[in-house]
A = this chain, B = another copy of it.
Amino acid sequence: MARAGLTTERLTRAGAELADEVGFDRVTLSALARRFDVQVASLYAHVRNSGDLRTRIALLALDELAVRAADALAGRAGRDALAALGGVYRDYAREHPGRWAAAQVRLDPATAAASAGRRHAELTRAILRGYDLPEPDQTHAVRLLGSVFNGYVNLELGGSFDHSAPDTAQTWPRVLDALDALLRHWPAS
């Protein structure tokens, strides 16, 4: 009987594709087994359980995002850099809605520490070099930028902006203008 050539890596990758196709909450070991034409129980040799698969997909997504972000930020500063980083999140979420959903799951502390999470924070912090913020405020600004990008992408993707004019193609650049202005004139404590 020929072997299917399963590995944790391949399962994770296929799980991510499945998530993009049918939604992250519908990623199931059954569906994955079907995709490899294999018995469900066989997957348990490569993945601890279905939760384990989900966190692996989440880590994959966080990593892919960090790679794209690093790439997009190279050689950019100021508003350009804001547009680049925000654009990475926005485009990724549109291209890979399932992976994006995966990237939103809460990870336990140990897993989170080993994730690309910190890299995201550092990439965001790199943008601040183009502005002039004192140290405690840099962290606050990193968190604010993360909140805006994350929130905007989720609301836009969730359709929250669909019921009012103008459409988000108009709003997005103005949000970037606003963030740029805010960082240039950051209020003192």
Interface presence of A118 (CB below 8 A): yes
Residues of A near any B CB (own CB < 8 A):
25, 104-107, 109, 112-113, 117-118, 121, 136-137, 139-141, 143-144, 146-152, 154-155, 158-166, 168, 170-171, 174-175, 177-178, 180-182, 185-187, 189
Tell me the nearest residue of chain B to A165, going by C-beta: B139
Which residues of chain B are near A139, meaning CB under 8 Å? Answer: 164-166, 171
A181 touching B185, Cβ below 8 Å: yes
Which residues of chain B are near A113, meaning CB under 8 Å? Answer: 163
Expressed in whole angstroms, the minimum distance between the Cβ of A92 and any Cβ of chain B is 16
Expressed in whole angstroms, the minimum distance between the Cβ of A187 and any Cβ of chain B is 4
